[in-house]
Amino acid sequence: MARLAQTAGLTDIQEEILATVRTFVDKEIIPHAQTLEHGDTYPADIVEGMKEMGLFGLTIPEEYGGLGESLLTYALVVEQIARGWMSVSGVINTHFIVAHMLKQHGTPEQKQKYLPRMAAGEVRGSFSMSEPELGSDVAAIRTRAVRGESGYTVNGQKMWLTNGGTSNLTAVLVKTDEGAEKPHQNLTTFLVEKPEGYGEVLPGLTIPGKIDKMGYKGVDTTEMVFDGFEIPAEQILGGVSGQGFRHMMDGVEVGRVNVAARACGIAIRAFELAIEYSQQRKTFGKPIVEHQAIAFKLAEMATKVEAAHLMMVNAARLKDSGQRNDVEAGMAKLIASEYCAEVTQEAFRIHGGYGYSKEYEIERLMREAPFLLIGEGTSEIQKTIISRGLLRDYQSRG
């Protein structure tokens, strides 16, 4: 039994789910990840396996056919999947976020329409906030939906859409004319149903081909282009326009816990590879783990893995309790992603020249870890969120 990244206080059901997922990762993901990643191949068989296990309905309430599990369970499952291959966790991440947004903010009709099919994995979710010139300023969104007699007409371009080609339900944040003074109050989330695939998938809606990336292979990342796309008003999440920013930020808090969990998973795997290799590789007549320089590296790596895991668990538990967790989620995402990059690089150094070879798994992790420094908000954005939250709680009275 591994010593690191253990979680106290789990239920028997949570332990059973995690044991099942861990076995699935060891048998079905890790042995195939290298080949699939190098070929930038979508992990279709692995995804089918996750559907059979019910993972697409992990957090969806039982009344809609899901397992009704907590954000903590979801985060620990993601941690294990990312330990196998981060791209697989990307397949379910956006799905979970859309399911959470529907569960928390959808109308009864929207919940009944989508959640049962999402739990079965028949409807797969993705979400889109970013645009080509947007960066971190969500309120500066340019994609616009204009109200007409029979619904809305959408024009604009969205960017960095994970699962853009393989999903069939996308939550899209766009600008609507609400007349509000604050920019974020003029944003609305639409639920866009579409076929899977690329090109013009619907009249006025185009999903260009996959964006070629340094890492995060296998999972598709695309743009989403609207050109006179017509959508009815009942596809507004929650049925009320102008609430999109609030809906998306709730989803992003879940997403930040997810990114922290993914970072923990990669860091765990990097540590596993490093400690195994250091016991096998010999220099100067003994395994390199017996050299103090390597032993100290492993000690620091393990400490960072444990610290990141604990902060991720704390953020997930706070969200589950109904408390505000923007600061804690930001802290968890910040430290987990930064530590992930550091632990992965140390594992790379321990491997020496072999770490630069595509034959070794650590080479893939070196290309995957940097993505987590950016996804769901950069480290600088997390520091902004954290500092604002601290000032809110420690407001000077003098």
Beta-bridge partners for 18? none
Strands (E), the chain: 125-128, 144-147, 152-162, 169-175, 187-193, 199-202, 205-207, 221-231, 282-283, 286-287
Q: How far apart are CA 114 and CA 106, in angstroms?
A: 10
Map residue 51 onto helix, strand or coil: helix
Contacts of 223 (CB under 8 A, 6+ apart): 132, 157, 158, 159, 161, 164, 207, 208, 211
For residue 143, give the nearest of 127, 159, 154, 128 by alpha carbon: 154
Whether 81 and 265 have beta carbons less than 8 Å apart is answered as yes
Whether 172 and 224 have beta carbons less than 8 Å apart is answered as yes
Q: How far apart are CA 232 and CA 333, in angstroms?
A: 36
Let me know how long the chain is. 398
Given the structure tokens 């993914």, which residue do they identify?
262
Question: Is 376 a known active-site residue?
Answer: yes
CB atoms within 10 A of CB 137: 10
CB atoms within 10 A of CB 200: 13
30: tokens are 């890790």
115: tokens are 């959640």
236: tokens are 């507004």
Q: How far apart are CA 209 and CA 187, in angstroms?
A: 27
For residue 340, give the nearest of 5, 1, 2 by alpha carbon: 5
Map residue 304 onto helix, strand or coil: helix
Q: Which helix (H) or strand (E) holds 82?
A: helix 71-84
Q: How far apart are CA 240 and CA 105, in angstroms?
A: 10
Q: Which of 109, 234, 376, 380 is catalytic?
A: 376
Please return the burial class of 330, using the count of CB atoms within 10 Å of its CB with bins 0-12, 13-18 and 19+: buried
Q: How far apart are CA 383 and CA 135, in angstroms?
A: 16
Write out the catalytic residue numbers. Answer: 376
